[in-house]
Structure 1
Amino acid sequence: MVPSFLARDRIVAGPGFSRWLIPPAALCVHLCIGQAYATSVYKTALVEHFDTSLTAIGVIFSIAIVMLGLSAAVCGTWVDHNGPRAAMFTAACFWSAGFLVAALGIGTEQLWLVYLGYGVIGGIGLGIGYISPVSTLIKWFPDRPGLATGLAIMGFGGGALIASPLSSRLMQLYDQSGYDATDPSSVADGHAVTMLFVTLGIVYFAFMMFGAWTVRVPPEGWKPEGWDPAEVREKRLVTTASVSAGNAIRTPQFWLLWTVLFCNVTAGIGILEQAAPMIQDFFRDSSGASTVTATAAAGFVGLLSLANMGGRFVWSSTSDVVGRKPIYMLYLGGGIVLYLLLATVGDTAVALFVLLAAVIISWYGGGFSTVPAYLRDLFGTFEVGAIHGRLLTAWSAAGIAGPLIINGFLDAQGTPGELTADAYRPALLTMVGVLVIGLVANVLIRAVDPRFHEPAASDDLERSAT
């Protein structure tokens, strides 16, 4: 049960409502929670403030991603039944509270409070916020599910595009020790990061609430003008049947797709989580000093965010034309080639490094935005939001595996701030092996056996448009 002002029946769209208002409402949430990809900007500051290792600070991000997957899995059915406004409101409360608790932990030098705040509490907000608009978008756009989810989920990839430069500027504003964002050797103090978290918590709460009050669900019997549900039957690997969330996890297709997502995310998350120091470490002169400034590194994080965001829209929209399975062959097979190039020749030129990383991250983002449509194709729309929530446990697992792989290798290679490209090669080559596993899993995906379908499944597509 939810308060009446959040109930689904209070947000049914009236006559003349444009479905194109739904993606901006979803973006208000996803742009805010996408800040998770900007953690590398203040990662070194937290290492020095708490006098600990990269791995210990990386655990903050890992906990958040674990909680994202767990909360999405546990709350997926609740989100489907209670509607997007209740979910967005709840996500805003958890996400903002997480920042404030983490700020308390930084200010009092209690790392466990940062784990609890940003990791656990904020991570719950991440999970609920991430899945909150997905089912609604698919029901508003049954004719173009890849484009619709891409429009919204690209916001999660683009969150760092805003948060990365904003965080650098705010830390410089709040710092009391002369932090200079343009100086690669300068590190912000704990007070600056504390105030940064307080500011972001307040600002993000306001934006997410705007999205919650804008979103609507389609009225009963609604479907896009001129769209014929029979068109779906002409597409390979696209079902008009229904599979419940409980039955979906019993199918091999669910676990094969889980593996695909896990491998794609594990490979990409290492670059994103380590982006700012990575580009500086790849390009050091003979004296050991990086030729890439901290400002340029923050700009690189922003560029990756742009690639992540653009990939979520471009590649998921492309999947509406070429199909989900072929597009994942590109994400995974192409990723294998580009990771090999990044590991072997990525340090020869900054432009080459940036290009390789940007394309990899565009496929990483595309994998996220395409997967809801892939689920809809395989399992129907009946409980696609709940199934999506369960699938995101793959993201939780990858949120542990990706950072542990790269941070584990880096901690064994030397001291942060003194590493070179050679320190990254073992981790990058490990990611190649991970992508091979994902590629094989995608090849094995077939249509779901009819024994898992719900009764009267033939009518589900028309019913789900409501």
Structure 2
Amino acid sequence: MGFLDRSRTVAPADWNRWLIPPAALSVHLAIGQAYAWSVFKSPLEGALGLSGTQSALPFQLGIVMLGLSAAFGGTLVERNGPRWAMFVSAVCFSSGFLISALGAWTSQFWLVVIGYGFVGGIGLGIGYISPVSTLIKWFPDRPGMATGIAIMGFGGGALIASPWSTQMLKSFGKDNTGIAESFAVHGVVYAVFMSLGVLLIRVPAEGWRPPGWEPAVAVVNKMITTANVSARNAIRTPQFWFLWIVLCFNVTAGIGILEKAAPMITDFFAQTATPIAVAAAGGFVALLSLANMAGRIVWSSTSDLVGRKNIYRIYLGVGAAMYLVIALAGNVSTALFVVCAMVILSFYGGGFATIPAYLKDLFGTYQVGAIHGRLLTAWSTAGVLGPLIVNAISDSQKAAGKSGPDLYTNSLFIMIALLAIGFVANELVKPVDAKFHEPAELEEASR
């Protein structure tokens, strides 16, 4: 593969490992645009005569393809290296916008769905996992912090994309031509921006370790292994499926609020003396995005100190408590509602950022990227499950004549139950049985 070949990305002895997080961020900040898709929903509905359900299709397909491409492409990413993966991600993600531009320009919505959802979704999945294994190998002493920095970019990408996209639509117009021009600019700019990561990324030389760091000395937690497990064997272990449940239900709980944040806070306080204005509801969404982004670096870095199992006890246990407070007293105080929701969203982001380090602890670094890719099918499931629970129950309660917090009470208690199941699954995670370990000679080669 020439320039993209893994052998061409081996770092020289004096390479600064702190150049790797910016390389990862260049990809994650770009693909994090997915969280800003809502900016295009109303313009597309007006220009192409779509319903709200139809305008959500590109985003929904994109999230599904993220999980599927990460699962099926994880082994290729490990084999071909991060530069190849970042290049494929950049090509697919940028091409998705260009295909979508053609679809908007010709008023062919199916091209938008195929472009952004299918082609762009493949770029999302490959890009999401592209730096994970490399970061863990460069930062075996601080894997939670390293992956948190990169995955923070995915959570923060919308903070850049949302105002940028809004301004472009304001400048170009919200008709099909203006939308097409906005999509085209996205495709070109993201191609250039993501290419920085392609050029900058490196893998450590075989046997490289941080100065003064020895794995045998560093491992004081019985949950952290010095052995390695292949992706094929990992999915045969109960640990993998316990973590699948943990990630799925933690994400389900978070995305349930994230997807319906503005109408939820409006409904909760509609019948109080201090109803929430539209602008304030928009500000609430922005605060949740900040909590999501901050949680990815803060909580994942904390996991390096307290351990991965303990941090997930906090995500799931305290998260359930926050949901209980919202269910029982959420409309008593706006501040209380906002704080609880921000804590939940910080755990949502933290759960994403910490899971690669948890996998590294249990399965080693040998094929951690491929294992992570397979685990992200939990995200695809949660991306459908969370909004479905909240929206279906809300709609049914509204049809029954209820309003305010009553629209969400049942779904909140369902989220509490799911988090409780996730908590139990986390408690069941134990060190991986030695029968699943790879031969000892792979341990050195994978570091």
Tell me the distance in 1 between the aligned counterparts of 2:404 and 2:48. Answer: 24
In the other structure, the counterpart of 1:272 is: 258
* Maintained 8 Å contact 1:84/1:215: yes
Q: Does residue 219 of the first structure (1) align with residue 205 of the second (2)? A: yes
Give 1:27-426 correspondences, 5 Å limit: 27-175=25-173, 191-284=177-270, 291-294=276-279, 296-412=280-396, 420-426=404-410
Aligned residues: 445
CA–CA distance in structure 2, aligned partners of residues 353 and 193 of structure 1: 36
Are the equivalent residues in 2 in contact too, given 1:162–1:302 (CA < 8 A)? no
> Secondary structure at 1:447's aligned position in 2?
coil
How far apart, in 1, do the equivalents of 2:109 and 2:251 lie? 26
Distance in 2 between residues matched to 1:169 and 1:283, nearest whole Å: 31
In the alignment, the residues of structure 2 paired with residue 356 and residue 263 of structure 1 have an alpha-carbon distance, to the nearest angstrom, of 18
- The alpha-carbon deviation at position 58 of structure 1 amounts to 3.4
SS in 1 for 2:210: coil
Per-residue deviation, 1:193: 4.0
Match of 1:449 in 2: 433
The Cα shift of 1:229 comes to 1.3
> What is the rounded CA distance, in whole Å, between the counterparts of 2:422 and 2:173 in structure 1?
44
Contact 1:55 1:411 (C-alpha < 8 Å) held by counterparts = no
What SS class does the counterpart of residue 225 from structure 2 fall into?
Answer: coil
Counterpart CA distance in 1 for 2:390 and 2:222 is 38
Contact 1:54–1:407 (Cα < 8 Å) also in 2 = no
Tell me how far 1:347 sits from its aligned partner.
3.6
**Distance in 1 of aligned mates of 2:204 and 2:26:** 19
Counterpart-to-counterpart distance in 2, 1:370 and 1:385: 13
Give the aligned residue type for 1:236. Answer: K
- Output the TM-score relative to the length of structure 1: 0.88
Normalising by structure 2, we get a TM-score of 0.92
- CA gap of 1:45–1:283, structure 2 versus 1, over 3 A, is farther
Q: How far apart, CA to CA, are the structure 1 residues paired with 2:434 and 2:216?
A: 19
In the TM superposition, residue 435 of structure 1 has moved relative to its aligned partner by 1.4
Q: Is residue 41–residue 55 contact of structure 2 (8 Å, CA) maintained in 1?
A: yes
Aligned mates of 1:405, 1:393 — CA distance in 2: 18
Q: How many Å separate the matches in 2 of 1:351 and 1:64?
A: 34
Q: 1:210-259 CA distances to partner (integer Å, 9 max, x unpaired)?
A: 11111111112211001011124321211111111111100111111111
The answer as to whether partners of 2:271 and 2:404 remain within 8 angstroms in 1 is no
Range moving further from structure 2, 230-239 or 323-332 = 230-239
**Residues 50, 278 of structure 1: CA spacing in aligned structure 2 closer, same or farther, 3 A cutoff?**
farther
Q: 1:192 to 1:279 in 2, by over 3 A?
A: farther
The answer to whether the aligner puts 1:8 opposite 2:14 as a matched pair is no
Q: Letter of the aligned partner of 1:453 in structure 2? A: H
Matched to 2:446, the amino acid is S
In the alignment, residue 330 of structure 1 is paired with which amino acid? I
Q: Give aligned-pair identity as a percent.
A: 60
After TM superposition, the structure 1 stretch with the greater mean CA deviation from structure 2, 19-28 or 339-348, is: 339-348
- CA distance in structure 1 between the partners assigned to 2:327 and 2:56 by the alignment: 22
Moved more, 361-370 or 97-106: 97-106
- Matching residue of 2:446: 464
Q: Note if contact 2:265-2:276 (Cα within 8 Å) is conserved in structure 1.
A: no
Amino acid in the other structure paired with 2:277: V
SS at 1:234's partner residue? coil
Gaps of 5+ in 2: none
Distance 1:353 1:398 in 2: 23
Work out the CA distance in 2 between the residues paired with 1:392 and 1:276. 27
The C-alpha deviation readout for 1:261-302, integer Å capped at 9, x for no partner, is 111111111222333444444444789x974334x4444333
Alignment partner, residue 181 of structure 1: none
State the Cα distance separating 1:410 from its structure 2 match.
4.2
CA distance in 2, matches of 1:217, 1:380: 17
Partner of 1:119, secondary structure, is helix
User: One-letter code of the match for 1:215?
Assistant: I
User: Which shifted more, 421-430 or 437-446?
Assistant: 421-430
**Which whole-Å CA distance do the structure 1 matches of 2:384 and 2:98 have between them?**
24
1:323 maps to a residue whose letter is: G
